[in-house]
Structure 1
Amino acid sequence: MTNPPAGPSSLDETLSAALTRRKSHNRLRTLTLRKPGAVDFSSNGYLSLSANPAIKEQYLARLAQASSSPSSSQHALSLGSCGSRLLDGNSPLAEHLEREMAAFHGAPAALLFNSGFEANTGLLGCAPQTGDVVVYDELIHASVHDGIRLSRARGVAFSHNRVRRADGPGERAGEPANAGLPSLEEVLEGLEQGWCRGQGGREDDGHGHGHATTDKKTGGARRNIFVAVEAVYSMDGDVAPLQSLVDCVEACLPRGNGHIVVDEAHSTGWMGEGGRGLVSSLGLEGRIWARVHTFGKAMGCAGAAVLCSPTTRSYLINYARSLIYTTAMGFPLLAAIQTAYGHLSTDQARVLAER
C-alpha cells in the first residue's frame, strides 16, 4: 500500500494559485454572516415577505391544516419528496400549484424548477436545436450563459437594452454599455440575411435532436432564434424595453421563427397588477415564448417556474436535465410558494409593491 504524498498536491497548488490571483485583483469571494442590527443593502427580498408575520402565520396554518386533513397522504405531506418528479417525487400540490401559477400569470402552462438558475439552464440547455441561435442582452444572468453552453445552439450578444440601430448604447451603472456590440435589430437582420443566402441543414435525426431545414420559398433555413432578456436587470435595476423588443423581433423575423425568453426573477411579486411581472403589465403574454418566474427574491421563498405552452412543458419534462435528474420540491417549500402567491392579492402586498 503506497502512502499518499506529503504536503499539498499539484491540484491543490493549482487551485491555490488561482485563488491568489483572484485575491490580488480584489475579486476573492468569501462567505460572510450579516451582523445583528446591520442594514442590508444587498437583499433581493424587496417586499420583506420572508419575515412578514402575517405570511408566517398563514404558512404555519396551511401546514397544520394539511397535516390534519384525512384526505392528505403521508407521502404528499413529507418534508422532502425523496425523488425526481419523473419517479416518485411528484405530488398533487405541485401539479395544482402549476395550474394556479399558469392561470395567475395568464400562461397556458407552468413547470416548477428548484431554482431560477436550474430553470434557465434547463430551458435554454435543451430547447434550442442544432443550427439555432440564442441572441441575448450582454448583461443577461450567468444561468443563461450556462444554458447556452449546454445547448446545441450558438450565442450572440447585443448591446444592453439597445433594440434599434438608431438607439444609443445602453447604460450600466451610469456608464455606457459595450458600444462595440450591435443592437438587437442589427443582430437579427444579420442572422436572417445570412440564412436567406441558402444555408440549409438536416432534418430531425430521429432522437429528438432537431436540425435546421431549408425553407423552399426563401432558400433560407427555418432555424429558430431565441432572444433572451431580463425583465429587470439584477445588477443595476434597469427595466428591459420589452414592448419595443417584441415589436423588433416580430418585424425582423416575419416567418415567426423568433422566440422570446423573459427572465422575470427581479420583477415577480411587485411589478404589474398583483405582482404578475413585466410581461403581464404590458399585456404581452401571447407574444412571449417563455417566462421564468422565481420565488427566492420578492416572493421570499425559493424555487422557480417556467411559463410556456403545453408542448414546451412536455418537452422540458423529457429533455431538461436540471428537472429530470434532481430531487423535486417537498411539501413545505410548495406550501410556502402557495402561501406567498396567496398574499400577492392582498391590500398589504399592493401597498408594499407601490413603495
Structure 2
Amino acid sequence: MVSSEKYIQNRLDERKVLGTYRSLRTESDLVDFCSNDYLGFARYPALKVSIQQEIDAHPLNLNGATGSRLISGNITYTEELEQQIASFHKNEAGLLFNSGYDANVGLFSSLPQKGDTIIHDELIHASIIDGARLSHANRYTFRHNDLKSLQGKLKQAKGVCYVVIESIYSMDGDTPPIVEILKLTEQYSANLIVDEAHAVGLYPFGLISHLGVQDKVFARVVTFGKALGCHGAIILGSNLLREYLINFSRAFIYTTAASFQQIAAVKMAYELLSKSSPEIEKLNCNINLFKQGIKQSETYPLLQSDSAIQCIILNNNERAKHAAQTLQNSGLDVRAILSPTVAKGAERIRICIHSYNTAEDINLLTSTINNIIHA
C-alpha cells in the first residue's frame, strides 16, 4: 500500500518536472497588471471611508453572522441589499453567496437533475464545471463561441436543458455572440445562464443588461471580487429561482452567512459603481492604449478582446514563464497562465488593464512585450 505522503510528493514532483508547479506569492511593489481590480475599488480610499461609515451607522450588528442564513445568519439588511442589487441589474430577485465559486457550484449542483442536460462553452470557468459534475445531469461541451457546435449539442439535449456561457471569458477576455445564442436557446426551449464576473465594471450593469436582454436570460451570476473590489457573489433571476436555491442549494444552506462587514462593503461598492462613469471611461481608454501599443506577431498573437483582459499566446509554459519574469524584472506585475489551467499550446501571459494604470506604465508594458515577442 502506497502512503498518502508518497503519493502527494510524487504528484508535486510531477508538477515540478512539467513546469506547472504552483506556489503562493505575497504582495509586491510592482505595477499591477494582473489583478481583477479593474476600476480600482479595492484600493479606493473613499470606498474604505464609506464602508467604515456604514458599519459605524449600524453598531448593533455582530462581528460574525453566527450561522447559516436559514438558522441565525439572516438579517433584514442582507435581504434589502439583495433586492437592491437585483433592481440595479434589472432582475426580479437575487440570492447572495459567499463567493463566485460557491454561487456556481451551488447553482449547477442543485438545479439540473439526472436526465437533464447542461451544455457549456469549452472555456467555461472551472467552478461551473465542478458544479455541473455534482448535478449528475448529462453534460456537453461546445466549441468556444461556435454557434454551429452549440446547435449540434442542443439537438442532443434531453430533459430540462441549460446552456452556460460567460459574458466575458476570464482567460481569453472575449465576448460570445450573446444575441445569436439567445435565438438558439429560444428555438430549442433551453435556458441560458450567464456568468458576468468579468463584465460588471466594463459595463456598469453587466453586458446582459447593456444589451437589454436580461428578460430572456434564465439566470446570471455576478461576483463582487473583480471590479467591485470586495468579496462574494449573487445569483440573479426570478423569485421562483431564489426560493428554489434557498431550499435546494447546499452551498447556500450549509455555510455560515457572510458577516455584516462584508455585506456593507458590497452595498457601498454598488453605490460607488453607480457613480463611476469617469473610471469606466478611463478603463476603456487604457484598454485602447494598450491594444494600439502592441505590434502584432503571427507567432505570438494578441488575442482579440475589447475587455480589460488581454492575452499574448506564447505556446508553452517555459516561454510564458520567461516572458512574465522579464516583465516583472521591468517592474510590471504580469503573470503567466500555464497548462493545465489553459490548454497545452495555449499558454500565455494574461494582462489585466485598470482605470488607475498610467499612460507611462502602459507604454512601458507594451514596449517590453513588443521586445519579447519580436526578439
The two structures have a TM-score, normalised by structure 2, of: 0.73
Q: Which one of the candidate residues 151, 174, 192 is aligned to 1:260?
A: 192
- Once the two structures are TM-superposed, the CA of residue 23 in structure 1 deviates from its matched residue by 1.1
Contact 2:142/2:150 (8 A) holds in 1 = yes
State the Cα distance separating 1:154 from its structure 2 match: 1.7
- Partner Cα separation in structure 1 for residue 140 and residue 9 of structure 2: 34
Structure-to-structure mapping, 1:81-92, within 5 angstroms: 81-92=65-76
Q: Is this contact kept in 2: 1:344–1:350, CA < 8 A?
A: no
1:331 aligns with 2:260: yes
Q: Distance in 2 between matches of 1:153 and 1:89?
A: 31
Percentage identity across aligned positions? Answer: 41
Q: 1:53 to 1:352 in 2, by over 3 A?
A: farther
Tell me if the contact between 1:301 and 1:336 (Cα under 8 Å) persists in the aligned partners: yes
- Report whether the alignment pairs 1:224 with 2:160: yes
Q: Which residue of 271, 278, 286 corresponds with 2:215?
A: 286
* 1:177-206, Cα deviation, whole Å (9 max, x unpaired): xxxxxx101111233xxx6xxxxxxxxxxx
User: What SS is found at the alignment partner of 1:89?
Assistant: coil
Shift of 1:54: 1.5
Deviation at 1:353, TM superposition (A): 4.8
1:184 maps onto 2:170 in alignment: no
Correspondence for 2:8 among 6, 15, 20: 15
Return the letter of the residue paired with 1:267: A
Question: How far, CA to CA, are the matches of 1:235 and 1:55 in structure 2?
Answer: 28
Instruction: Say yes or no: does 1:246 pair with 2:182.
Output: yes
Quick one: which of 129, 137, 157 aligns to 1:145?
129
Q: Secondary structure at the match of 1:190?
A: coil
Name the structure with the higher helix share.
2
Per-residue deviation, 1:270: 2.5
Q: Which amino acid aligns with 1:58?
A: S
Letter in 1 for 2:164: A
Q: Distance in 2 between matches of 1:26 and 1:241?
A: 35
Show structure 1 runs of 5+ residues with no match.
1-8, 68-73, 166-182, 196-222
C-alpha distance in 2 between matches for 1:351 and 1:189: 42
Q: Is the 8 A contact 2:39 2:280 kept in 1?
A: no
Partners in 1 of 2:184 and 2:120 — Cα distance?
Answer: 14
The alpha-carbon deviation at position 34 of structure 1 amounts to: 2.8
Question: Do residues 270 (structure 1) and 263 (structure 2) align?
Answer: no
Cα distance in 1, alignment partners of residues 282 and 274 from structure 2:
12
Per the alignment, residue 231 of structure 2 pairs with 302
- CA–CA distance in structure 2, aligned partners of residues 283 and 270 of structure 1: 16
- Select the residue among 46, 49, 55 that pairs with 1:63: 55
In 1: Cα distance, 2:113 partner to 2:239 partner:
19
Aligned length: 283
Q: TM-score, normalised by structure 1?
A: 0.77
Task: Name the residue aligned to 1:237.
Answer: 173
Structure 2 unaligned regions, length at least 5: 286-375
Q: Secondary structure at the match of 2:156?
A: helix
Please state how far the C-alpha of 1:93 moved relative to its aligned partner: 1.1
- Change in 2 beyond 3 A, CA 1:108/1:353: farther
2:184 and 2:72 map into 1 onto residues whose CA distance is 44
* Residue in structure 2 matching 1:158, options 132, 137, 142: 142
Partner deviation per Cα, 1:20-54 (whole Å, 9 max, x = no partner): 0111111111111132x212221011111011111
Q: Tell me which residue corresponds to 1:213.
A: none
| Match of residue 317 from structure 2 | none
Amino acid at match of 2:8: L
Shift of 1:111: 0.1
- The alignment yields a C-alpha RMSD, in angstroms, of 1.3
* Aligned counterparts of 2:280 and 2:23: Cα–Cα separation in 1: 36
Shift of 1:61: 1.6
Q: 1:130: how far off? A: 1.8
If you compute each CA radius of gyration, which structure gives the higher value, 1 or 2?
1
C-alpha distance in structure 2 between counterparts of 1:109 and 1:349, whole Å: 28
Higher mean C-alpha deviation, range 340-349 or range 117-126: 340-349
Tell me the equivalent position of 2:82: 98
Amino acid at match of 2:36: N
Q: Distance in 1 between matches of 2:213 and 2:282?
A: 24
- Asked if the contact 1:110–1:305 (Cα under 8 Å) also holds between the matched residues in 2, the reply is yes
Alignment check: 8 A CA contact 2:197 2:223 kept:
yes
**8 Å CA contact retained: 1:343, 1:349:** no
Distance in 2 (alpha carbons) for counterparts of 1:106 and 1:353: 24
Letter in 1 for 2:198: H
